[in-house]
């Protein structure tokens, strides 16, 4: 029997920078964030239909061999008796007007988890927050033009080894220092991976990012027509690259729908791919499946993990066909997936030496807005991504926003009148 220890969240949150803790009994508090949800940005990408141009297709390269790792068929559920408390925190901006319209979608933590760096996507300014002192301590303005310029639209921002910063857009990667000087950059051209599909409907270089030492560039690519998904690895110094086929992710291409009317392309994508670059390996995952690949950066080996959850499905089930012939069929196919499981990214807890991952299933209502209530699940894995626990968190109606672990506690972003705030979860299991 799991205990729930919850505050009346909106009323206590963020009136000051001091921490507050409130304990509330049992399951009657199942609407934990029912009021606060209106100010909580949804951490999950909103599946929508967008207008883009017509695509073209080219065949992919031959893939490498995939090594599959079998999982134990049973385990003791570590999260069966999970309980938690929530503290509310407000970070002092020191009278600086913060602009984070997408929350912490483009943010990163220092290796010691002391500092949070968040990108202002409008001005290309990075804010540095001290999470121990709970205040803004510095900012770094990057140029839009000139020899030290960054991409006009930054898709990925990451902290790298040696006090360096990495930026990427859909085909550019660059390394900078905190003096805002450009140290390195590489712009992919048509000659790079020329046999991959290059279409406006699907990014050629999805999840484009650098290794932490800056020596390699990684990306993901899916070819919907051929039902193939690849990991791309590129050495910018040698200008050499290779592709590794992710065979167990092939079904994800069936979660992508598009239709052309004239020069307009309607797209709905439930096959979002993600990649978490660590010091010695990369984790490759998708919102449509519990499965994950581990790519070893030193040996080049690829390990496939397939956690077998008991509380939720392990995969989204594609519609009968993703062969779409009208805009309405794009909408209908999307609606068939709205109420299925959606997995989020992996979050590492360096104190427990474990990974955690949230999942959610949207409540079946006529309203499909981001404010629609969701069943929220939490999964726990060891360092080898073996499943160690799972639980449904009845007290939550949406997934915590842009969560990360610090000092063994889960921090979840909250925007309070353009000030940076957090709900801090203390788990007991």
From CA 426, how far away is CA 402, in angstroms rounded? Answer: 16
Percent of all residues in the chain with a pLDDT value above 70, rounded to a whole number: 80
Separation between Cα atoms, residue 39 and residue 331, nearest integer Å: 28
User: Model confidence at 368, in pLDDT bands (50, 70, 90)?
Assistant: low
- The answer to whether 258 touches 324, Cβ cutoff 8 Å, is yes
Residue 12: enclosing H or E segment and its boundaries?
A: helix 9-12
Question: Which pLDDT value is given to residue 152?
Answer: 85
The pLDDT of residue 79 is above 70 = yes
**How far apart are the C-alpha atoms of 115 and 113, rounded to whole Å?**
6
Chain mean pLDDT for the chain: 83
Query: Contact at 8 Å (CB) between 134 and 90?
Result: yes
The residue among 262, 266, 263, 272 whose CA lies nearest residue 330 is: 266
Phi then psi for 111, rounded to 5 degrees? -60, -25
DSSP character string of 184-211: EEEE--TTTTTTS--BTTB-SSEEEEE-
* Mean pLDDT, residues 355-376 taken together: 86
Predicted pLDDT of residue 200: 61
- What average pLDDT score do residues 121-143 get? 97
Least confident window among 86-100, 189-203, 329-343, 370-384: 189-203
Answer whether residue 46 shows pLDDT above 60: no
Helix (H) / strand (E) containing 416: strand 409-416
Report whether pLDDT(100) > 50. Answer: yes
Three-state SS at 348: strand
Return the ∠ at Cα 348 (arms to 345 and 351), rounded to 5°: 160
Band of residue 15 on the pLDDT scale cut at 50, 70, 90: very low
- Give the whole-angstrom CA distance, residue 379 versus residue 306: 13
Any residues with CB less than 8 A from the CB of 133 and at least 6 apart, and which? Answer: none
Domains (ranges, CATH) in the chain? 9-428 (2.130.10)
* Top-confidence residue, 290 or 200: 290
Summarize the confidence of residues 266-284 as an average pLDDT. 91
The pLDDT of residue 41 is: 36
* Residue 378 confidence (pLDDT): 99
pLDDT tens digits for range 156-211: 999 999 999 999 998 999 999 999 999 999 999 888 998 787 666 677 899 999 99
Task: Report the pLDDT value the prediction gives residue 335, as an integer from 0 to 100.
Answer: 84
How far apart, in whole angstroms, are the C-alpha atoms of residue 53 and residue 55?
7
pLDDT value at 4 more than 60: no
Reduced to 3 states (helix: H, G, I; strand: E, B; else coil), residue 225 is: coil
Extract the runs of DSSP E, i.e. beta strands, from 199-349. 206-210, 217-223, 228-235, 240-245, 256-261, 264-269, 273-277, 281-286, 289-296, 302-305, 342-349
Kindly indicate the confidence band of residue 271, based on its pLDDT and cuts at 50, 70 and 90: confident
Please state, in angstroms and rounded to a whole number, the distance separating the CA atoms of residues 68 and 205. Answer: 25
In tens, the pLDDT along 294-351 reads 999 999 999 999 999 999 999 999 886 667 778 888 888 888 888 999 999 999 999 9
Q: Which two tokens stand for residue 180?
A: 């805002």
Closest CA to 127 of 110, 141, 114: 141
| Sequence-separated (6 or more) residues with CB below 8 Å from residue 130 | 114, 115, 136, 137
Q: How confident is the model at residue 285 (pLDDT cuts 50, 70, 90)?
A: very high
What are the structure tokens assigned to 417, written together?
Answer: 């009148």
Say which residue, 111 or 201, is predicted with more confidence: 111
Burial of 11 (0-12, 13-18, 19+ CB in 10 A): exposed
Say if residue 385's pLDDT is above 80. Answer: yes
Whether the Cβ atoms of residue 84 and residue 379 lie closer than 8 Å to each other: no
The reported pLDDT for the residue numbered 72 is: 52
What is the per-residue DSSP string for 92-144?
A: B-TT-----TTTTTTEEE-TTS-EEEEEETTTTEEEEEETTTTEEEEEEEPPS
In this prediction, residues 39-43 reach a mean pLDDT of: 36
Mean pLDDT computed over 16-24:
36
Q: How many angstroms separate the CA atoms of 323 and 330, rounded?
A: 9
pLDDT recorded at residue 198:
66
pLDDT score, position 280:
96
3-state secondary structure 51-99: EECCCCCCCCCCCCCCEECCCCCCCCCCCCCCEEEEEEEECECCCCCCC
pLDDT tens sequence across 238-260:
999 999 999 999 999 999 887 77
What pLDDT does 406 receive?
98
Q: How confident is the model at residue 372 (pLDDT cuts 50, 70, 90)?
A: confident
330 contacts 257 by C-beta, under 8 angstroms: yes
């Amino acid at each position: 029997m799991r205990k729930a220890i919850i505050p009346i969240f909106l009323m206590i949150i963020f009136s000051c920078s001091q921490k507050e803790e409130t304990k509330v009994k049992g399951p009657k508090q199942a609407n934990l964030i029912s009021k606060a949800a209106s100010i909580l940005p949804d951490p999950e990408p909103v599946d929508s239909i967008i207008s883009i141009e017509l695509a073209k297709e080219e065949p992919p390269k031959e893939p490498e061999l995939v090594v599959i790792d079998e999982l134990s068929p049973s385990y003791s559920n570590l999260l069966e008796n999970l309980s938690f408390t929530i503290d509310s925190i407000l970070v002092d901006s020191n009278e600086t007007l913060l602009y984070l319209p997408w929350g912490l979608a483009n943010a990163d933590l220092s290796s010691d988890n002391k500092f949070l760096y968040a990108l202002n996507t409008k001005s290309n300014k990075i804010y540095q927050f001290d999470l121990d002192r709970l205040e803004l301590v510095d900012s770094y303005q990057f140029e839009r033009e000139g020899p030290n310029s960054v991409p006009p639209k930054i898709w990925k921002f990451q902290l790298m080894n040696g006090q360096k910063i990495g930026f990427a857009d859909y085909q550019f990667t660059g390394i900078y220092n905190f003096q805002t000087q450009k140290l390195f950059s590489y712009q992919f051209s048509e000659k790079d991976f020329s046999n991959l599909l290059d279409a406006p409907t699907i990014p050629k270089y999805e999840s484009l990012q650098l290794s932490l030492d800056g020596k390699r560039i990684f990306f993901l690519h899916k070819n919907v027509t051929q039902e193939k998904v690849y990991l791309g690895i590129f050495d910018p110094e040698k200008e050499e690259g290779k592709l590794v086929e992710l065979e167990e992710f092939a079904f994800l291409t069936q979660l992508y729908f598009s239709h052309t009317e004239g020069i307009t392309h309607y797209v709905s994508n439930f096959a979002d791919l993600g990649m978490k670059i660590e010091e010695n390996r990369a984790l490759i995952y998708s919102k449509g499946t519990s499965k994950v690949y581990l790519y070893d950066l030193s040996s080049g080996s690829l390990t496939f993990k397939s956690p077998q959850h008991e509380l939720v499905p392990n995969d989204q089930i594609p519609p009968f066909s993703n062969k779409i012939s009208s805009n309405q069929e794009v909408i209908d196919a999307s609606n068939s997936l709205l109420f299925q499981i959606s997995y989020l990214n992996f979050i590492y807890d360096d104190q427990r030496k474990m990974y955690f991952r949230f999942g959610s299933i949207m409540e079946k209502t006529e309203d499909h807005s981001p404010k629609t209530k969701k069943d929220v699940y939490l999964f726990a894995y060891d360092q080898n991504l073996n499943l160690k626990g799972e639980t449904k968190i009845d007290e939550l109606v949406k997934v915590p926003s842009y969560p990360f672990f610090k000092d063994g506690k889960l921090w979840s972003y909250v925007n309070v009148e353009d000030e940076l705030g957090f709900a801090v979860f203390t788990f007991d299991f």
